[in-house]
Structure 1
């Protein structure tokens, strides 16, 4: 085979792929990125940045820029739909653990825009939009990736390593034949964005609120310009039925009755999966982000976990390219897969169970537990270290 055109090829230019490219480029490693879309989607996908993610992004000079464009949320809370606030968590408790003791609400495309602008100025990253990866072949010295260019013409490129940051339906994962075990959540998740300010009418509402209810839980999430509402929905309904304007209006009025109709900016319904790939490392090919693991959005761990994957993997790739043993890369899988199973999956599943719990005694016990955590500073901090994903990063060194 020919010589590699670039040490690393990345399939996918979402947050995970872009952060992987930024870290490699910062270390002087040339990167070619292949992205099937023609531009960064400006939709309302992930918007929560946890404290340790902001700490990581600071080294690329974008954390403070994101803070300027986002909404700083020092508090988040659990609520009961009938009785109101159960427990409010204060991220200021983590002021000795992070330079950013808050959650930041900022649309992910703003980060993508910043990184693209920085790439254009700094060079070292060949970002090719409209290029769809169609397959790959790897051998002892590299990986040959085939693609279709924006005109549909076939092409190929060779690199030493390939990172699959190509999302939940990853074609690379599928070509590898990797088992993606787990479950599909029985409800459809409906996400609605509205200009209505819930904070002006719901007493003591934090900008991030998980609202439990045995019949219909919800999440209220404030962004810089909108409020987002997440609602579980009957999976037997069609997409048209779920997104019917009258149905959405009725459901929002059920959360907070108000004069006049809600102004809806965006509404989408989607299936939610809890899955983890059987393996992340396959010779010279690596899975990261949604290509490696999926989880429900309760807790805001999906994008953050993917960014953590990207930095963990590329730190090890940089070391191997500089002469470290190839076996170093196996530690990426052992560390990040453990986090996906033990922290992300466990936390998001527990959050969903708590919010939808139907047994009154179990609900009361969980609410009492949360109140007790907030009342005890040591427990409060320990809970936030886990919920903010700081503890999972600190535990990585124990994984051989």
Structure 2
């Protein structure tokens, strides 16, 4: 056995699980450490782009993943102030660029479950649930991770560590890596309802509503029961008490702002959270790598954050598989590729997406919406727009970085 084959993955969310499976398939011995005893089913990321679907296909989970969600060929932009659809974009224009010319709306916890079940057939993988990472350190010979379970601490040793333990990453903090960027001034409110916006509005499964007073994102997911439900995302001021924002009355008012319903909306879930736009100053130190939210966070408009994290995971697996040892200069390529792509694509794109929806200046707002119409009407420009929004461009440019 190659002495460089033992990897600890801190965090058992979707990025951690993809990392673990990809490494296991490349004959690494993997230990996943996850604080939650059970899979977190709270509504989070659900949009998976063509570039990421290609990667999920490469690790053998694509059929189950697609079956667990909804396939979305189109996405829309709407003028909320005038209640009219501005433009519809068609992923089928990518049919010559990818075998997956669509988006799949599958909740991230389903991906975790699919992969965790698959990992049980790998004798070289151990998943430690209900176990949290307390500290991480390294030396010339390997990494040591202090973990805690039921109040008892122990140490795990390996050759490499991958930190996929979220925006508050213990691994990143152990390395004293700055999380550069800022926090948006408003919170994001997520409301989930069984109301059928496709039937009521003619909306696609992904729709973005630009509004001078209030923007909104609207998208459909399958739900665990596969009956379908819609999530609506709104900005929420931080100077209004949370109990007011989260009240049923406020929720009904916001949803009626999208489509006025004669009856009350059935509310299935409500959530509110702060949103950050941050990138770690470094994605790797020695034998320790950062991936997913541990290394980058962004606003969710466009559904790029988790996709980028899965790209990190495959890049780590491929890089470690190609490296000869922990001193191989090839390992530096991971940061050159992933940090660059995150800044140049994901950060820029998500910031631009948010600004487009929230623009208040009438002239600028009108121009933004007119630009979307022009892009829709020009197949070449729409194709270029889709190549970027699906991160297919970023994957191609990333692979060119040596």
TM-score, normalized by length of structure 1?
A: 0.96
2:299 equivalent to 1:296 = yes
How many angstroms apart in 2 are the aligned matches of 1:25 and 1:73? Answer: 31
Match of 1:251 among 249, 254, 260: 254
The 3 A distance-change label for structure 1 pair 324 and 379 is: farther
How many angstroms apart in 1 are the aligned matches of 2:212 and 2:312? Answer: 35
Query: Residues 185-239 of structure 1, C-alpha deviation per residue, up to 9 Å, x if partnerless?
Result: 111100010011111211x311100000011000110112100000001111232
Report the number of matched residues.
Answer: 395
1:7 corresponds to? 6
1:18 corresponds to? 17
Match of 1:215 among 213, 218, 222: 213
What displacement does 1:75 show? 0.1
What displacement does 1:156 show? 0.5
1:163 counterpart SS class: strand
1:341 corresponds to? 343
The 3 A distance-change label for structure 1 pair 117 and 380 is: same
Query: Residues 96-128 of structure 1, C-alpha deviation per residue, up to 9 Å, x if partnerless?
Result: 111111011111111111111111123321000
**Runs of 4+ with >2 A deviation:** 3-6, 322-325, 397-400
What displacement does 1:83 show? 4.3
What displacement does 1:4 show? 7.9
2:333 equivalent to 1:331 = yes
How many angstroms apart in 2 are the aligned matches of 1:317 and 1:238? Answer: 48
1:258 counterpart SS class: coil
1:377 corresponds to? 379
1:195 corresponds to? 194
The 3 A distance-change label for structure 1 pair 68 and 307 is: same
How many angstroms apart in 2 are the aligned matches of 1:266 and 1:83? Answer: 25
Match of 1:287 among 280, 286, 290: 290
How many angstroms apart in 2 are the aligned matches of 1:201 and 1:117? Answer: 38
How many angstroms apart in 2 are the aligned matches of 1:323 and 1:182? Answer: 33
1:122 counterpart SS class: coil
2:400 equivalent to 1:398 = yes
1:147 counterpart SS class: strand
TM-score, normalized by length of structure 2?
A: 0.96
5+ residue gaps, structure 1 = none
How many angstroms apart in 2 are the aligned matches of 1:5 and 1:176? Answer: 21
The 3 A distance-change label for structure 1 pair 279 and 5 is: closer
1:368 corresponds to? 370
Query: Residues 320-366 of structure 1, C-alpha deviation per residue, up to 9 Å, x if partnerless?
Result: 2x459621111111111111111001001011111011111111111
- Please tell me whether the aligned partners of residues 35 and 130 of structure 1 are also in contact (alpha carbons under 8 angstroms): yes
Q: Aligned ranges for residues 92-111 of structure 1 at < 5 Å?
A: 92-111=92-111
Query: Residues 27-55 of structure 1, C-alpha deviation per residue, up to 9 Å, x if partnerless?
Result: 11110111111011112110001011111
How many angstroms apart in 2 are the aligned matches of 1:5 and 1:39? Answer: 30
The 3 A distance-change label for structure 1 pair 154 and 323 is: closer
1:41 corresponds to? 40
5+ residue gaps, structure 2 = 223-227
2:58 equivalent to 1:55 = no
